[in-house]
Amino acid sequence: MLSRPTTEQILLDCCRELMTNVLPSLTDATAQVSVIMVETVLRNTAVRAGHEVAWMREETAEIEDYARAVAEQAPGTAPLEAALAALAGAPRDSLHLDDVVETYCRAGNALSAALETAVAGGLAALVRRGEEILDVRSGHETEVMAGWSPTGR
């Protein structure tokens, strides 16, 4: 397959085309807003395309360690154990995007159950560690936002 320019570079080039050649020629306000939104979505997608597989795999590893640590501190928590079992059965060896996403979603469910368990159980150190994992996830989402700000009103 052709690999250079990268997906990120191709999408950013589409953004440039929209903003320099398409948007200035539009007079309809609704169409202008649509183009601005599309350009934003493409910039978001460019960032995702550049990093999403690596980010999801890195986060999944951290989450699994964390969820197992919570499960050790709160044994017998059924939703957490079920989520960890589901994660163990995920297609984790594949790098195809759908498989990475499926594994990441199952890890997300394990993290949800682990956080609920840690907060409800007053496991302060594990709550803090869980917050750090959420911070990493949030940091990635912020990078994807690529400087987004609300428009349209």
Partner 1 sequence: MTDEPQLQKFLDHVAAGRGGTVTMLRPISGGYSRLSALATVRWADGSEETFVLRSDPPPDTGVFDSDRDSEWRLLEAISGKLPIHTPTPRWYDPTGQHLGSKCFIVDFFNGRPLSDIAQDPGELPRAAQIFVDTVAEVHRTPLDVLPPALERPADWDSYIEDLVEHLGRLDRDIADSNPALHFVAAQLAAHRPPPVPLTFVHGDAQPANILVPDHGPVLMIDWEFARVGDPREDLGYYSHLPVPPNLYEADPAGFLARYRERTGLTEEQVNEDTVSYFYVLGMARLLGQMFEATDALARGQSRGVMATYMMNGISATTTAFVEVARQLAH
Alpha helices in 74-123 (DSSP H): 78-88, 97-120
SS3 119: helix
- Output the CA–CA distances (angstroms, integers) from residue 134 to 43, 57, 79, 93, 108, in the order listed: 23, 15, 19, 24, 10
Angstrom distance (rounded) from CA 90 to CA 99: 8
Q: Which stretch binds partner 1 (CB under 8 A): 2-10, 14-22, 90-98, 105-113?
A: 105-113
Shortest distance in whole angstroms from residue 13 CB to partner 1: 19
Q: Which is nearer to partner 1, 8 or 137 (CB)?
A: 137
Shortest distance in whole angstroms from residue 108 CB to partner 1: 3
Interface mask (CB under 8 A) for partner 1, residues 109-128, using x and -? x-xxx-xx--xx------x-
Interior/surface letters 40-51, b for 16+ CB within 10 angstroms, e for the rest: bebbbbbbbbbe
Instruction: Examine residue 80 and tell whether it contacts partner 1 (CB under 8 A).
Output: no
Q: By the criterion CB under 8 A, which residues form the site for partner 1? A: 29-30, 33-34, 37-38, 40-41, 44, 105-106, 108-109, 111-113, 115-116, 119-120, 127, 130-131, 134, 137-138, 141-142, 144-145, 148-150, 152-153
